[in-house]
Structure 1
């Protein structure tokens, strides 16, 4: 099966991407309960890699606004948000956003991703990222995809290198993560790189 195969959703926007272990689609209102449950159950696993969680971070209202904005940003070619589901039982596993789309002379986007604690290190994120990278270079026509991770996040660094991303440098105090400004390692992948063979 080819990664990144596109099928329009009934909602009128978005795509369903098919991997070997997972499939991805944009978030929908019906995803709130499993999304909240997975995020809350994975709190200790996730907070060290993410911006500080507010009291409203996992409220229904916040989630529904995310769904609304995801649709608007998709339609205006600003950002492409996906939830990740396991093919065998439709369990929600995590999420990926290919955002900060820059057209013109750049043709670039940036990846952000998370996975629930019970599903880490089972190959799901590698499969999912392969789908989104293929979609970015194929359907979206991007030339470059970027990603960043904390220097001590060995799992994320290893995943990006496995996919064929190249480590390109270190940005000082790049993002405010877990309540403080922290350095990040910067990675890049080009459409012309031979990345498919590495997955």
Structure 2
């Protein structure tokens, strides 16, 4: 399955990451490793290999075929990979929700690309996947991510104590959620 979701005003598009994107994803992760470390789990050295990134992409493509997760690359109009955005842990049945995670190259943060990418993924989640809810959890001090979520209509719902092990420590996260009804009726 291959398709693209465009935001022409921001000059970006989303596309499911493919095996041929492994080198670009590795380069992006290596370039951002130090800057993003305060917001990421500690990773083994072999995570930062082409083989590991290719395996991750292959696993996520399998997940998308089984409606479990969707890992998109965020690309500039010229095809350069500048970030990643993922809907994961899809739950169907009476729940109909997914978790949202994302990162962008630190060198271009603050230009609106991530806000646009989140808007695109929400369109996909609510219109194409017919989800009822998308939720995200961010570190309490991650103001940039908070702004991205709030600009897209997410509402803060509470604090999950010691929720994820980030940078070697169990850390509190603020949970945010948005419902399809909210998203499809507001103009952002």
Please tell me the TM-score bracket, short chain as reference. over 0.9
Change (3 A) 1:44 1:108: same
Relative to its length, the structure with more helix (as a share) is 2
With normalisation by structure 2, the TM-score equals 0.94
Gaps of 5+ in 2: none
1:83 alignment partner, one of 73, 80, 91 = 73
1:173 alignment partner, one of 142, 148, 162 = 162
What residue in structure 1 maps to residue 117 of structure 2? 128
Deviation at 1:54, TM superposition (A): 1.3
Runs (4+) of structure 1 exceeding 4 A deviation are: none
Contact 2:42/2:166, CA 8 A, preserved across alignment: yes
Q: Secondary structure at the match of 1:192?
A: helix
Deviation at 1:70, TM superposition (A): 1.2
Alignment root-mean-square deviation, CA? 1.2
In structure 2, how many angstroms separate the alpha carbons of the residues matched to 1:68 and 1:78? 13
Tell me which moved more, 32-41 or 61-70: 32-41
Between the two proteins, the alignment pairs up a number of residues equal to 185
Contact 2:19/2:58, CA 8 A, preserved across alignment: no
1:93 alignment partner, one of 82, 101, 111 = 82
Tell me which moved more, 92-101 or 32-41: 32-41
